[in-house]
Amino acid sequence: MTLRKESTYTLANGVKIPVIGLGTWQAEDGDVAEKAVLSALQAGYRHIDTATRYENEGSIGRAIKASGIPREEIFVTTKVWNDAHTYEDAKMKLTASLKDLGLDYVDLYLIHWPNPASAREFWQTRNQDVWRFLEDAYEEGKIRAIGVSNFHERHLDSLLETARIKPMVNQIYLSPSDMQEEVVACNEKHGILTQAYSPFGTGTLLDVPELKNIGDKYGKSPAQIALRWSLQKGFNPLPKSVTASRIRDNIDLFDFELTVDDVAIIDGLKGSAKMAHNPDEILH
């Protein structure tokens, strides 16, 4: 498809999700996060990604309200953290997130990690119980779409043993340095959209000469090249910045297209930056 700033992907349930979003991990609560989100919305972003763990949902809610943009035009994602082990835990977490965001519903709600340290002995039943709440909240209209984050095939297979509704999104650490091909293939098999957090490899990828060389051809930065690559792969990138100029640059991606040769060069950058954590070994 021809990509534009207002382009969307269609999730399995028919919900439209903007092709690029603002990531807010490590965006400090208060003025920093609020100004970043407001800058993004003013620049044309209509997709904001947060999580309970980021501890900035209140700031994001204030920015959304201050923007004056109708609620239905903004796609908001948040996530249930690892200390939610049961249906009731997840219910309390969503209630708290909605209160902090100042919203009646969220557009996407995700299980943040599949195998947290606090649930390592019973992660399968934990995920199934939490997912059951997500399904119910989705059917009640408190959530427009449901999904997971950092799930590998083994985690999805376990979840699908009892799920009534398939995840619509799997948000994973994904960039040219770590393309997680097996996870992406599993997502595609199940009709799950792959979201890409840390699309710059937590920033280290931006020093790779190949991205700079390709960027010079188009008058674009390495960050813009990495994001355009992600879009042309059909991913849903979530670049994080709290700097207004970079936020604007990160959505200025729709006046050029990478060639097949460009994409091949970028595909060859695997291993050039920080790699994803094994979700079965995380310590939180």
Active site residue ranges: 54
- List, in sequence order, every residue forming a beta bridge with 10; answer none if it has no partner: 16
Phi-psi region of 14 (alpha: psi -120 to 50; beta: other; left: phi over 0): left
Give the span between the Cα atoms of 148 and 158, in whole angstroms. Answer: 13
Q: Using CA atoms of 171, 203, 74, 127 in order, give the dihedral in degrees to the nearest 10.
A: 20
What are the helix (H) ranges across the chain? 31-43, 57-67, 87-101, 123-140, 153-160, 181-189, 209-218, 222-232, 244-249, 260-267
Residue 108 phi/psi, 5° resolution? -150, 135
Query: 106: buried, middle or exposed (CB in 10 Å: 19+, 13-18, 0-12)?
Result: buried
Cβ atoms of 110 and 149 within 8 Å: the answer is: yes
Residue holding tokens 């609620």? 71
Amino acid making up residue 279: P
Q: Is 229 helix (H, G, I), strand (E, B) or coil?
A: helix
Give the span between the Cα atoms of 116 and 176, in whole angstroms. Answer: 26
For residue 22, give the H/E element and its range.
strand 22-23
